[in-house]
Chains A and B, each alone.
Chain A
Amino acid sequence: GAVVSQHPSRVICKSGTSVKIECRSLDFQATTMFWYRQFPKKSLMLMATSNEGSKATYEQGVEKDKFLINHASLTLSTLTVTSAHPEDSSFYICSAQREAGELFFGEGSRLTVL
Chain B
Amino acid sequence: GENVEQHPSTLSVQEGDSAVIKCTYSDSASNYFPWYKQELGKRPQLIIDIRSNVGEKKDQRIAVTLNKTAKHFSLHITETQPEDSAVYFCAALYTGTASKLTFGTGTRLQVTL
Chain A residues close to B by CB (< 8 Å): 1, 6, 32, 34, 41-44, 46, 49, 57, 91, 93, 95, 97, 100-108, 110
Contact = CB atoms under 8 A, between A and B. Distances in A.
22 contacts: A1-B45, A6-B43, A43-B106, A44-B103, A46-B100, A91-B41, A93-B43, A93-B44, A95-B101, A97-B99, A100-B95, A101-B93, A101-B95, A101-B99, A102-B34, A103-B46, A103-B91, A103-B93, A104-B46, A106-B43, A108-B42, A110-B41
B89 interface: yes
Highest count of chain B CB atoms <10 Å: which of A32, A42, A105: A105
Interface in B35-71: 36, 41-46, 49
A92 to B, nearest CB: 11
B44 A105 contact: yes
Nearest to B49: A102
Given A49-B98, A101-B95, A43 B46 contact: no
* Interface band, chain B: 20 to 34
Contacts of A32: 99
B51 to A, nearest CB: 8
Contacts of A91: 41
A34 B103 contact: no
B104 A103 contact: no
Contact of B43 (A41, A49, A105): A105
A112 to B, nearest CB: 13
A97 to B, nearest CB: 8
Nearest to B87: A41
B32 A101 contact: yes
Contacts of B18: none
